[in-house]
Structure 1
């Protein structure tokens, strides 16, 4: 199993979902509606991707945004301790605070333990 920060091809080309990881693992599902404008969001998001990729227990994440503006990011972690460690990173906490002040109209966070997972690939 290799750690990945985003689904292969997410920047363009052959888009694929991340694999089913060794069970159990945890997911953090972040659903959001953004405010208008960037206000430094893109740069901060890239920095958060860099930071989380270095975290022990981080497995990867996938993101999508609907045409109507709903964003969904699913982050995968080996265990709950890895999630708690990520929550405690100072730069991450500062980004969360800025998100509430500038970037998000609303958001919801769901944390769940994955006990069953499988995948399919044609061909």
Structure 2
């Protein structure tokens, strides 16, 4: 049975902002914001480490207290939109999606009903 998410969006944003760096690659940085169009959603911006200046934008929506849906919104390199279908971008995206799911799993202690 899927349980409703009971944690408010502001608390989710703060929890993700604290927890997410532990799941990213060394040197990566992230910004987590509330998704204003979805009370159960977050917008996550990740700046990849290294000299290639890649940045990734994800939409993360809670389906219930356990499950999140993560979707890539945009990838940029040095401020310019890039082809998201290249092998390197696909590989990096898949790593970040995995990290976001791992972070959501770690935060389950906060999102589960009491």
> TM-score surpassing 0.5?
no
TM-score where L is the length of structure 1: 0.30
Query: By percentage of residues, which structure has more helix?
Result: 2
| Greater RCO, CA 8 A, separation 6+ | 1
TM-score where L is the length of structure 2: 0.32
